Structures are given as C-alpha cells and as structure tokens.
Structure 1
Amino acid sequence: MTMLSPYDSMSPVHQAAYRAKGAAATLAPLPRAAKDDALLAIADALEVRASEIVEANAQDVAKAREAGTSDGMVDRLTLTPERVRAIASDVRDVAALPDPVGEVVRGSTLPNGIDLRQVRVPLGVVGIIYEGRPNVTVDAAALCLKSGNAVLLRGSSSAYRSNTALVRVLRDAVHGAGLPADAVQLVPGESRDSVRELMRARGLVDVLIPRGGASLINTVVQESVVPVIETGTGNCHVYVDAQADLDTAVEILVNSKAQRVGVCNAAETLLVHQDIAAEFLPRALDALADAGVTVHADERVMAHAKESRATVVEATAEDWETEYLSYDIAAAVVDSLDKAVEHIRLWTSGHTEAIVTTSQAAARRFTQLVDSTTVAVNASTRFTDGGQFGFGAEIGISTQKLHARGPMGLPELTSTKYIVTGDGHVRR
C-alpha cells in the first residue's frame, strides 16, 4: 500500500506554502554572497526582460481603465520601461545593504561562564497580500531573499498579469543563481478563496503582511490565524503652525499632497493655525488649484476661499477619516497646536504627520504629542519610505507597535534566537 504524504492532501495554496517552507530552510544558512548574487541576477533579468513585463502590465492597465479605475490607482498599477529600470536599481540597492542575518543584537558572558548571544535569524516563510502595485512584487521578493526568507506573493487580480510576468522573471533568475525557485512564489488562484487559504496556513506560513486599503488590512487582521504584521492606511496630516514660513509651508503642502497622490504617504488633511490662516490659505488654495487638487474644506477654510482659484467643496465628517489616494485633500483651521494634535489623534491612521514651523518649541511639542510611526518637522510626508530612509526598499509601513513600526526594511524581516555556549555546564 502506497502511503500518501501530507503534501498530497493539501490545497494548492498550502502546497505552495509547504514548498516555500523547504526553500526557507535552504535560504536560512546561506552566506551573504549567495543571496546577493541572486539579487543581482534578478536586477539584470528585470532589465533584459522589461518588454515582456511592460507588455503584460499594459493588459492590466487597459482592463483597469475600462473598469473606470481612478487615475491615482492606475498610476500605482502602471509599469513603464523607466519604472522597471528603477525597480531593478532598487534591487541592486538591497543587494548592497548589510545582511542582517547573524547580527549579534546583544551578547555577554554570564557570571557562570556561559557565553550568551542573541542573533538575528530569518522569519521563515513570509506571505504578502497586497493591492494594485506590481513594484511590491519585486520589492518584497528582494527584501525577503536578502533576509533569508521565502516569500508567498498574493497580489490583487487587477495586477495578475503583471505579477505573473514578474514572478516568472524572478523565479528564473533565482534558479539560475543556484537558489531554490520556490523561494519566490505567486500564490495560486485569483479568487478570494486563495487569500483565505493563505490566512489559514498556520504552521506553514510564519507571518502575513497585508499592504493595501483599510478593507484589505482589516480583513487580514481579523480573519487570519497566521500572525500578522499590520501595515496601515495613510491618512496623513500637514499642520501649518502660527510661526510657519509661508513659502516653505506651501512647498511642503503641495509636495506632500500632489507629488504622487496614489501612495500611503501622501497628505490627506491640511490643518492651519488660525493666526496664520488669513495670510496662508489664499496662497495655499491657489497652489493646490494649480496642482489640480480639490479641497474639502470646513467653514473657516471656506471663508478664505472666495478669491482663490481652488475647487472647494464643503467637508463632511467622512472627509476627516478618508485616505483619498486622489487629487483631493481635507482642510480645516484649528485654534492652536494642541487642537491640531487633538484632531490628528481623533482621525489619524497612525502613519505620518508633519508640522511646518520656525518655532523649536512648537516642533518639540508636536513631536512629543503626536503618536504616529513618523513625525516630520519642516519636511514632506512623502519621505516616509524605506528607500528614502536608506533601507534600500521596504516591505510596508507598519502602523502597529509590536515587532516593527514604520518602514520595514531588512532587520524588521528577521526574528532572533539565543545561542548558549557552555563548557559542560549543567544547572545546579
């Protein structure tokens, strides 16, 4: 009688996770050179096969436009030859970063002579569930490989052709470099059933990281039996203080909102101190108008909009909690810095908040009181990004407080273990 292995009775998703677990065991002890060679092979392959990737992506983009997808979301989906080259460059940047695996976090010789070290080790199998941004496919694969993890990629159906082409290129490059191709896998299936299967692969998948809108993230957090690192939506605020430099404030505001609207670190709410509102808002509204931004304004902002070129609509309660990902921004006048903080605490998603001020005291109080992953002083919210922080790339922006917070680079994709070395020591 032929004995069936557990693999034979698994669903296709769990079979992929099982293969990933084997690949993770192979990756874990590899030296940095082996992983870097694979990453460089990926970067080269992306450039050589860019036309194949862009052609597949064009089908996804056309489908998205036919479905009436917003311009901001289409921009997030779109790959061009230039963007593919930029993604390849990001992979080379990851290869150049220090390998976190094996790093000694802390160590000492105990009084009894035992040598104790806490060292970084890979998480194992990392599942990524994400929406509409095919660059995440490569970023996630590169970061997971560098940190010794196998990765299961479950992108949205809107980017299915793009992701299929990308993963085909990645797997070929990884295999060609002598590493197991199953270190990078696209989760089988396009239906929500495959997502549910992934969320129930406890024991096969070590951690899930959702990237996308609030609905996706909440679903994964609430329904997954696999441990989850929660990445949050980006309801980011720009607060212009009473002592702000107006030119600086306008430039930071427009950059935060309009430099690229379909991303989680774009500003979605403007708060203006009442003492500077009359002087600042007419300039700010015109600048937003020039950038094509519609302003969802409270009554006090409305009062300053009469002479501006801006498209202004009355704000509703929903506007204060909305991550637009479009050329829209909510705006309000506040009585004080503390009132700005109060507003942020009520509505923020905990991602990034910025203050524009020339007052060191105001900057210090704002950074002390605001509890988000990133607080920017006289800088755009758009800097909350793994690449901008020098991490090479990021797996996501974690808005929770356990394990990781903020842009998640290589160290955040590791756990630790203790190595206890004795010389015949026994406990008395």
Structure 2
Amino acid sequence: MTEQWNAKLIELGKNAKAAAKILRHVTETEKNEALLKMADAVVANQGAIITANQKDLELGKEKGLTDALLERLTLTEKRVEAMANGLRQMAALPDPTLVTEKQWINRDGLKISRQRVPLGVIGIIYESRPNVTVDATGLCIKAGNAVILRGGKEALESNQAIVNVLQKALEETKLSTESVQLITNPSRELASQFMRLNDYVNCLIPRGGAGLINTVMRQATVPVIETGVGNCHLYIHEAADIEKARNILINGKTQRNSVCNALESLVIDEAIAKTALPEFVEALKEYQVEVRGDEKARAIVSTIGAATEEDYATEFLDSIIAVKVATDYDDAVQHIETYSTGHSDAVITEDYSTAQAFLKDIDSAVVYVNASTRFTDGEVFGFGGEMGISTQKLHARGPMGLEALTSYKYTVEGNGQVRE
C-alpha cells in the first residue's frame, strides 16, 4: 500500500507540474473565468458539501475532538457562501504575474526587467478547516500556481467533496483539472514523503497548530513558508480608553476563539488594574471565559485562577485567557516579547507617543493600536482571502495573499551584445 501511494504521490507531482506549465500561458481573463466557475459550482453543490461535512463532524465527535476543533471543522450554508465569495473577490483582484516591478537599460544597452512570476507547484498541509481547500486553490490559481492539498483526516470527506466540485468546474475552462489535487491518504508516512517531493513541489505551506507546523519545519526538504501559531496579546496601557479596551478585549477573545488571530493573553498596567480589571473579568465571565493570572491579578480579583509559565506561552484556541499585571510600559513590552509568537499584538492607549513606541518595539507580523487582533485576515486586508499568516521574515510576512505566492525573475533583452 505504501509503495502504491508513493507512486501515486509522484504521479500527483508530475500532474501538478504539467498543470503549472499550462497556467503560465493562460490569460488573466481565463483564470478569472475559472475562479468564477468554481465559485458558482461551490454554491450549486453546497448540499453535497455540507452532507460530506456532517460525516466528518459525526466521526469527529465519536473520536472526541474538542469543541474548538469541531467549530473549525464545521461548514454551514453561510460559510460555504463565504468560500464562494472569496473566489469571486480573488477574480476581481489584479493578477500579480502581470507586474513588471522594475525596468532599465544598462550601460551595455540591455533592457533588464524584473517581473513577478508564479512559484510553480505549491503544497499545502493543513488541519480541520475545509474552507482552506477553497481559499488555497483560488489563491494559487490566481497567482498562476498548481496546488497539491493534504488536509487532515478529520476533514477528509469534506475536502474530497470540495475538490471534486472544483475539478468538475475546471473541466469547462482552459485550465487543467489537475491544477488542484488532493492527497486522500492521511498517513503520516505519506505526509513525510510529500514534504520531500523536491522534484515536483516548489514551496510547502503548513496551516494548523504548533505540532503540525513544527513537524513540517523539521522534516521538510521542500522550502517552507512558516505560518505561525497565534499567541496574540492585548496590552491595555494606563492611558487607555476603558470602554474601547473592554470592547476590543471581548471581541478579540470571544468573537471566534478557535482561530489564530484570537486573543490569548491580556496585559494591563498596574496603574489602572485595580479599577479596570474587575470590570474586564466580569465581562469575560458573561462569555464563559476562564481567566488565569499572576499574583497581582489574583490579588485584585479573587476568582482569577493561577496562571503558569505554560499558560503565558500557550495558544489556547479556547475560552481561556492568561492575564499579566505589568508594572509599566517596559514591563508589558518585555512580557509580550517573551511570550508572543510574532503573529498579532495590540495596544490600547490614547497616548500618541506610547502608541508609536509600541508599533516600533513589538516585532510581530501585525501590530495594532486601538483595534482588535481579529482583523489579521487576508480578506479583511483586501487580499481576497489568505494562504495563512506568516510569522517569518523571509519572502512573506503577515496575511499571505496573491503576491506572497509569487517570486520574480529577471528578463534581459538585447540586440546581439556580447560581454568583453
């Protein structure tokens, strides 16, 4: 079985490479038409997609998946419609591969241009969220890439149903149906082989929890763009507007706590903690959020549980938040620097100098002043969707849209020049 699937993996790679070659030659209009056809097909087949998703949910409940994982796994009519709308938004965006970034004539009379080009074949390894199947496919195709998807076993039925719909839609376009392919064998051994498929895959992007991301970073020989874990912080400065702070805290922690841009830690200045923290804890309590804190926090609010070192370093993806009472700005920044995963961190303050200092001091992919970290999202940023949130600094950082799925090459045009 393993040998058979290893052969199948190579076949997927060859097919993807051939599809990527076709994608280099299709027009922007043809790519956009393909995206719109896929969007229409997703909506037209939402019944079949949701039925497949119900099978995954039933199996997930039997296997004891947490409520947070089940929430990420769930597809509703509204979420299916959002997936289709994401494809339509991508179709309306400019094609990044039509961009010539620079052009000049050198001293030898050569016309040198730097042009955006697709990466080629992109591999995606992800967990739980079947909407990634649509988002990743749309973004890859718009940027001129073929994609091989390897979702988690918990979403296998959903992903198969979605990919079948997308491939069927591509039959009516100039693109190859193998522009998108799915690995349906969830074995870890096969996933490891996929991570080393250098002859066919140009870039690998993991999306999921810390365990998955760390595994891919350790095992892959294919170049990896690291999408990071979201231990996101909200720092409430002593000059904060308390009403703004409360609303942003509640939104960041409770609007959807199973996603990577949800808040996991609250840092509050000691100067306002005695008056503001009880109000915040009471507000969180209304949403059944468990609050864990340091000794200072517990001295102010007796219902706060004791926070451990691990709590401050954890992406809970659940109704839990860790609280730190900071002595001052420097203490708050030090805490965030120690525990942040470099995803998204925010400050609430009405003091301009503090806001500007925070923007410089916090070295995360996205840094906010007086706004919720829940806005860290490719669609919200105007990218028409996202491949993930990159927390690394090379190639791409933050919400990864179309441009992050391209590289560039230099083209040189001459008239018979030779170098002396």
TM-score range relative to shorter protein = over 0.9
| Structure 2 residue aligned with 1:4 | none
SS in 2 for 1:178: coil
Q: Is the 8 A contact 2:156 2:184 kept in 1?
A: no
Call closer, same or farther: CA 1:313–1:34 in 2, change over 3 Å: same
Is residue 2:301 matched to residue 1:301? no
- CA deviation after TM superposition for structure 1 residue 111, in Å: 2.4
Give the counterpart of 1:97 among 70, 80, 93: 93
Q: Which amino acid aligns with 2:281?
A: L
Identity across matched positions, percent: 47
| Structure 2 residue aligned with 1:412 | 404
Q: Which amino acid aligns with 2:415?
A: D
| Structure 2 residue aligned with 1:366 | 358
- CA deviation after TM superposition for structure 1 residue 68, in Å: 2.2
- CA deviation after TM superposition for structure 1 residue 9, in Å: 11
Q: How does 1:273-422 map to 2 (within 5 A)?
A: 273-306=269-302, 312-422=304-414
Q: Give the Cα–Cα distance (whole angstroms) in 2 for the partners of residues 60 and 54 of structure 1.
A: 10
Q: Is the 8 A contact 2:5 2:190 kept in 1?
A: no
- CA deviation after TM superposition for structure 1 residue 112, in Å: 2.3
| Structure 2 residue aligned with 1:183 | 179
- CA deviation after TM superposition for structure 1 residue 422, in Å: 1.1
Q: Give the Cα–Cα distance (whole angstroms) in 1 for the partners of residues 48 and 5 of structure 2.
A: 35
- CA deviation after TM superposition for structure 1 residue 294, in Å: 0.5
> TM-score, normalised to structure 2's length?
0.98
| Structure 1 residue aligned with 2:218 | 222
Q: Give the Cα–Cα distance (whole angstroms) in 1 for the partners of residues 122 and 328 of structure 2.
A: 44
Q: Is the 8 A contact 1:394 1:407 kept in 2?
A: yes
Q: Is the 8 A contact 1:188 1:194 kept in 2?
A: no
Q: Is the 8 A contact 1:239 1:354 kept in 2?
A: yes
Q: Which amino acid aligns with 1:215?
A: G
Give the counterpart of 1:192 among 188, 194, 198: 188
| Structure 2 residue aligned with 1:130 | 126
Residue range with higher mean Cα deviation, 68-77 or 113-122: 68-77
Residue range with higher mean Cα deviation, 21-30 or 140-149: 21-30
Give unmatched runs, 5+ long, in structure 2. Answer: none
Q: Which amino acid aligns with 1:42?
A: M
Q: Is the 8 A contact 1:146 1:410 kept in 2?
A: yes
Q: How does 1:163-174 map to 2 (within 5 A)?
A: 163-174=159-170
Q: Give the Cα–Cα distance (whole angstroms) in 2 for the partners of residues 273 and 9 of structure 1.
A: 56
Q: Which amino acid aligns with 2:405?
A: L
SS in 2 for 1:403: coil
- CA deviation after TM superposition for structure 1 residue 149, in Å: 0.2
Q: Give the Cα–Cα distance (whole angstroms) in 1 for the partners of residues 5 and 272 of structure 2.
A: 67
Partner deviation per Cα, 1:260-281 (whole Å, 9 max, x = no partner): 0010000100000111101110
Give unmatched runs, 5+ long, in structure 1. Answer: 1-7
Q: Is the 8 A contact 1:12 1:188 kept in 2?
A: no
Partner deviation per Cα, 1:392-421 (whole Å, 9 max, x = no partner): 100011111100011100001001110101
Runs (4+) off by over 3 Å: none
SS in 2 for 1:25: helix
Q: Give the Cα–Cα distance (whole angstroms) in 1 for the partners of residues 276 and 5 of structure 2.
A: 65
Q: Give the Cα–Cα distance (whole angstroms) in 1 for the partners of residues 390 and 252 of structure 2.
A: 20
Q: Give the Cα–Cα distance (whole angstroms) in 2 for the partners of residues 208 and 273 of structure 1.
A: 41
Partner deviation per Cα, 1:216-265 (whole Å, 9 max, x = no partner): 10110111010100110000000000100000000001111111001000
SS in 1 for 2:304: strand
Residue range with higher mean Cα deviation, 28-37 or 129-138: 28-37
Q: Is the 8 A contact 2:26 2:174 kept in 1?
A: no
